[in-house]
Structure 1
């Protein structure tokens, strides 16, 4: 494993929001003479989802008594966990997670990808949904 400038393991510096930064970066790259914009947009969607999922999972585990199954089932279980809340803004997190997961699956597995809007717009929406999840989680503190 590599080290950062401070000599710390790179992995120890990782935060879910870093995936959101990468997602935004890929979105910009795709718009600026990228020879493979479809791949950049697809990757932006995927990273936006994982940023939101990891942050929401961490928040739920640390502050809401969510128990991770440590399996792929957590993706659906976590979204349902938020949807079952009595608070509307918390339910929104579950809705956004379900949408982001759907878009991520299309991005990662469907060739050709069939989105309801052009892929550039889908990537933009994924980033905005991810930002909304981060914002809602921060407002719950």
Structure 2
């Protein structure tokens, strides 16, 4: 009997069913969202506080995608450009996620990224970047409120 259970479990993993069933995901699925909030990009001694504007969507599997990003608040903010979009995001725990290959460019900074950025996601749809490092030596922090609220659900 134990042999049959092992074979069945191996077959499920081979076909991806076990991995899919245990994965956290963004909610709601298959929906577009916007995000707006205060962020700060720092490189060396230069720190630029901005208002970030994100547009994205979740797919039917609960994966996230940031498809557009802009920054406002000052001429330095307006000069920051998102690069290598879309950025993919995967939920990693009930309140944690990773945004993959995030990258921005600016004449005052050069290129920051691409880097994988850990974030937290609240039950009210606030995404928090907490002093996340972007290669080679940039740091991003801030809070972005999503509309509709994007949260993480457990398997």
TM-score normalised by structure 1 residue count: 0.26
Higher strand content, 1 or 2: 2
The structure number with the bigger radius of gyration is 2
TM-score normalised by structure 2 residue count: 0.24
Higher helix content, 1 or 2: 1
